[in-house]
């Protein structure tokens, strides 16, 4: 099949591999970008995979405050050297990630962090929805995989569309920076604060306890 420039660009953004390697990989897997990513990683041609085993213990903690101080984010992004930790492109990425977290409110960095019980609970809900649609079993299983993928895209930072470049995921933007800088980069963790979050529930709980005491005499 014909390999488009767009698919080559998308694969190169994900892996940092060379243009010819990307074209060859896409040809091997009938143009499927995700399968081509795996192909390059298995061949050791992905820049990201080459750096995956290297230790990233330097970096920076970035912050972002929004809406007149009503939303605040701290994010830790690691790299391999203190030199890169002071690099303007790297620091700009850290700030952008903090801004992204403020805007989209993800719950986890990557899908591997999502608790198994949460995934299973979501799977059960989705299975029931699909079952009610009356789809054949084979189709239903594919639908489940697709809907679970959307679930991860909603709650996992790396899989979300990047707010500053919606045609790319956060992970793709990160991979592009890895290819540009030449070091492993890892979004390690983040915390998002929303003014007053949780206080309403505590107030409701307190009111409920008061009602119980009054009812009990």
Backbone Cα Rg of the chain? 22
What CA–CA distance (Å, rounded) separates 2 from 76?
41
pLDDT more than 90, % of the chain = 48
Lowest mean pLDDT among 74-83, 144-153, 168-177, 201-210: 201-210
pLDDT the model gives residue 217: 46
What mean pLDDT comes out for the span 204-216?
Answer: 57
Name the pLDDT band for 192 (thresholds 50, 70, 90).
Answer: very high
pLDDT the model gives residue 42: 73
Cβ-based neighbours of 20, under 8 Å, separated by 6 or more: none
CA distances to 61, 75, 86, 94, 181 from 89, rounded to whole Å, are 14, 16, 9, 9, 8
Interval 59-116: pLDDT, tens: 999 999 997 899 999 999 999 999 999 999 999 999 999 999 999 999 999 999 999 9
pLDDT the model gives residue 93: 98
What CA–CA distance (Å, rounded) separates 74 from 85?
16
Lowest mean pLDDT among 122-131, 181-190, 200-209: 200-209
Interval 60-72: pLDDT, tens: 999 999 978 999 9
What CA–CA distance (Å, rounded) separates 66 from 51?
34
CB of 48 closer than 8 Å to CB of 73 = no
CA distances to 37, 40, 42, 197 from 18, rounded to whole Å, are 12, 10, 15, 46
pLDDT the model gives residue 46: 60
Six-digit token pair at 147? 């809907």
pLDDT the model gives residue 200: 66
13 has a pLDDT exceeding 50: yes
pLDDT the model gives residue 14: 72
81 or 198: whose pLDDT is higher?
81
CB of 158 closer than 8 Å to CB of 174 = yes
What CA–CA distance (Å, rounded) separates 19 from 35?
16
CB of 21 closer than 8 Å to CB of 42 = no
Interval 24-46: pLDDT, tens: 888 888 888 888 888 887 766 56
């Amino acid at each position: 099949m014909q390999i488009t420039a767009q698919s080559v660009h998308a694969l190169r953004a994900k892996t940092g591999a060379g243009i010819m390697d990307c074209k060859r990989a896409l040809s091997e897997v009938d143009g499927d970008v995700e399968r081509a990513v795996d192909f390059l990683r298995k061949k050791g041609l992905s820049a990201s995979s080459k750096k995956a085993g290297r230790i990233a213990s330097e970096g920076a903690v970035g912050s972002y405050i929004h809406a007149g101080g009503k939303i605040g984010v701290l994010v830790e992004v690691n790299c391999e050297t203190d030199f890169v930790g002071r690099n303007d492109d790297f620091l700009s990425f850290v700030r952008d990630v903090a801004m992204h977290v403020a805007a989209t409110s993800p719950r986890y960095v990557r899908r591997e962090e999502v608790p198994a019980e949460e995934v299973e609970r979501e799977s059960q809900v989705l299975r029931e929805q699909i079952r009610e649609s009356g789809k054949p079993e084979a189709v239903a299983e594919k639908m489940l995989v697709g809907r679970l993928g959307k679930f991860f895209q909603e709650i996992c930072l790396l899989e979300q569309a990047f707010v500053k470049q919606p045609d790319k995921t956060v992970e793709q933007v990160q991979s592009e920076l890895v290819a540009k800088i030449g070091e492993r980069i890892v979004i390690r963790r983040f915390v998002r604060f929303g003014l007053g979050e949780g206080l309403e529930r505590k107030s409701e709980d307190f009111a409920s306890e008061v009602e119980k005491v009054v009812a009990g005499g």
